[in-house]
Chains A and B, each alone.
Chain A
Amino acid sequence: MNMIGNLNWKKIIFRWEMALIFILVMEIIIFGSINPRFLKLPVLLGSINDYISICIIALFGTIVMITGGIDISGGAIVGLTSMVLGLLWQDAGLNIWVAVILCLLTGVLCGALNGFLISYVGVQAMVVTLGGMFLYSGLAVVLSTLSVSSAYEGISGFPQAFIRIAGGKVFGFIPNPFIIFLILVVIAYVLLHKSRFGRYVFLVGVNPNAADFSGINHRFVSMFTYMLSGLSASVAGVVLTSYLGSCRADLGNELTMPIVTAVVLGGTAITGGRGSIIGTALAAIVIGLLRFGLQMSGVSTQYLDIPVGLLLIVAVAARGASLYMKRPSFAAKKQKAV
């Protein structure tokens, strides 16, 4: 009986990621039939520029959520790091690559502040990152007023080398952001599913007390996940700035909800302990293509909150039900013991 329960569980994970792939294929077929241009490879691959930030941040937001936390400050960090980058380059006159490194460091620091308050001081993750969201997006606005360029225009005129981060193409048809996304997926996958740290992330999420008794430094593990999340947001900030060719304080303003949606839709449990990078990566693309596809089919992007919202509720309710059905494993125990 236990064996069956076990196989069921494996099947559910399997099915979930399969389900995401299925949705993805359906999207491509449906949108392709509505607007054949959608099927052109450059168009399809190029669409990632529209939702690259969601993809990148959701990957590492997944790691945060597996420890049982949540990070809703990612979008704000995108705007902040974008402004830091622009100011350091234009107003402080630093080399663009030095500015990029400092900008990534800013993201790590923001994450470290979140993580410290959450794991060492013991404040709820939701509240800290809510405060962080106001703080970082607020700082971004303040920074934008310090620049010699007007806040509305933003800082632009970056060197070609920098613009090529997002604007360049590999083999002439794969946009760089797509490659960046793939690289980050591999990094996040290795980190979460292959490394010792990733193992600890899961263990801390499943049972922080037990982790403590096993001698795992659960506070540091949890803080580090927020630093990673902050870093990923700053990477998104750099990529987005490069793509748009200018830095703006409000770059990440509308990102919070889609990020959390992608993480949860990818199969991560909000209570922690469960989740996968592949799932999140697929979910982020599902959401991104849905938006892009409907846009190409002439539907306003704004309507898309409806299917995405529905998808979220149905997905979580369905997974809750599947966990409910898993309960018979207790009954199995009973029968075995008799």
Chain B
Amino acid sequence: MNRIVRAITQTRELFTVAFLIILFLGTGIVNPSFLAPDNILLCLNGSVIYILLAIGVSFVITTGDIDVSVGATLGLTAAVCATMIRDGSSLIMASITALTIGALIGLVNGLGVTKLRIPAIIMTLGVNGLVRGSIYVYTEGKWVENLPAVFKSYGQITLAGFVNLFLLITVLIVIGVYLYLNKGKKGKYFAAIGDNMGGATLIGIPVDKTRILAFVLCGVFAALAGIIFASKIGFVTPTAGNGYEMKAIAACVLGGVSLTGGVGSVIGAMFGAIIMSSISRILVFLQFSSNWDDTITGILLIIIVVADALIQKHFKEKARRERLAARDLKALRAFEEMGGDAE
């Protein structure tokens, strides 16, 4: 039993994948049309924006911080990108501008958290307000509409007849990030800092730099999500991205990324995002009202974190006891050798 529990905790993303497969298959049993390739692709296409946000946030969460400004960052970068393209800029220029803005927002967050020592949640909450307000200033509270058809059509481009361009980009990014984190020299720094910041300092990891980098990457991914958002939706409202920050965090937690830091992977975050964005579709296929969407998300979240907390607690306590018991065994040996008696 313990071994099973341990196996699950050791390969958390596998657990998420298994959960996703069960979810899809289960829905397919009730309603076989859910498993039609077209529908699965629709599920995946629909989750692209959440996946990108979740990847970004997972960097920050893995280092032990949190970022609640990604929703606003998405909104601002989507607005900027859409406005520039509407006014005739090239896609490249608009994208570079959007990504730079995302990186700058991340940099501000990172500097505030590491240099000014403002708790991450406060810093990013404040920046969230600033950025959200900036969207209104920038758009003057108006919708960004009338985007060129070409820009809006990117979302419809498919390769080999069925792979959506955005989905392909996202999957490539996930693979790239995964390789960077697992094979790159510094990829493990993020998790190491979240795992044991003191230990990371001891072996010479640049802690502050890495934490700032995590925030910057988070901002960049939010900007990328913003660009795709503008193209997919075709217009940008000043409230674009409202509440997405919480959904991104929820996707991470669903995917096994622990908010205490050091645990989780981009693969997990990706599948977490897919589960979350598919719930409403699944509900429809199960003849439920999609109104249950948030309720189910909430219940799933709570079940997962509670199970996780209980398992962690169990192992911690067990390790402590083993340690003390080892001491005792040793004492017994020593006593036998010395012919000592316990009285």
Contact = CB atoms under 8 A, between A and B. Distances in A.
Q: Do chains A and B touch in the complex (CB under 8 A)?
A: yes
Interface of A: 70, 117, 121-124, 126-128, 130-139, 141-142, 144-145, 253-254, 257, 260-261, 264, 270-271, 300, 302-310, 312-313, 316-317, 320
Nearest to B141: A300
B120 to A, nearest CB: 10
Given A132-B302, A305-B133, 14 more contacts: A122-B313, A128-B302, A130-B249, A137-B294, A142-B289, A261-B129, A270-B121, A303-B137, A305-B128, A309-B127, A310-B130, A313-B118, A313-B123, A317-B112
Contact of B253 (A127, A141, A320): A127
Given A261-B129, A302-B133, A127 B259 contact: yes
B295 A126 contact: no
B176 interface: no
Given A121-B306, A126-B259, A135 B294 contact: yes
A141 B294 contact: yes
Contact of B118 (A137, A253, A320): A320
Contacts of B294: 134-135, 137-138, 141
Interface in B277-336: 289, 291-299, 301-302, 305-306, 308-310, 313
A257 B305 contact: no
Contacts of A317: 112, 116, 118
A309 B297 contact: no
A142 B133 CA distance: 32
Nearest to B296: A138
Contact of B299 (A124, A135, A260, A306): A135
15 contacts: A122-B313, A126-B66, A128-B302, A134-B295, A134-B301, A138-B291, A138-B292, A139-B295, A142-B289, A142-B291, A257-B125, A302-B133, A305-B129, A306-B137, A316-B123
Given A127-B301, A130-B249, A134-B250, A316 B130 contact: no
Nearest to A137: B294
B122 interface: yes
Given A313-B112, A313-B127, A133 B246 contact: yes
Nearest to B302: A131
Interface string B253-266: 10000011000000
B119 interface: yes
**Interface residue tally of chain B, by bracket?**
35 or more
Main secondary structure of the interface of A (DSSP, over half): helix
Given A126-B259, A142-B292, A313-B126, A303 B136 contact: yes
B134 to A, nearest CB: 7
Nearest to B260: A124
A32 to B, nearest CB: 24
Nearest to B69: A309
A133 B313 contact: no
Given A117-B302, A117-B306, A317-B112, A145 B119 contact: no
B134 A126 contact: no
B117 interface: yes
A313 B250 CA distance: 25
A-B residue pairs, 9 tightest by C-beta: A309-B129, A135-B298, A138-B294, A138-B295, A306-B133, A134-B298, A131-B301, A313-B126, A305-B133
